[in-house]
Homo-oligomer: A and B are copies of this chain.
Amino acid sequence: MSVTTYTVTGMTCGHCVSSVKEEVGEVPGVTGVEVDLESGRVEVTGDSPDDAAVRAAIEEAGYAVAG
């Protein structure tokens, strides 16, 4: 089990949060996604999901990963 935190920019409302959760949740190995809209903090829990795939999913949802 791993927990990785990403900082995502561009999320403005609850719909944005839902989009990110949905896309990241589809990445193989991901078991949980927590998002804090205010800070842009996205905490991804899972069985070592591929970092590049998680980042791609966030971008797929329409947002940018900082750093």
Closest to A13 in B: B12
> Residue-by-residue, is A1-31 near B (CB-CB < 8 Å gives 1, otherwise 0)?
0000000000011011011000000000000
Count of interface residues, chain A, beta-carbon cutoff 8 Å: 6
Q: B residues within 8 A CB of A19?
A: 15
Q: B residues within 8 A CB of A12?
A: 12-13
A residues contacting B by CB (< 8 A) are 12-13, 15-16, 18-19
Known: A13-B15, A15-B19. 7 other contacts (CB 8 A): A12-B12, A12-B13, A13-B13, A13-B16, A15-B15, A15-B16, A15-B18
- Ranked nearest first, the 8 interchain pairs of A and B with the lowest CB-CB distance are A15-B15, A12-B12, A12-B13, A13-B13, A13-B16, A15-B16, A13-B15, A15-B19
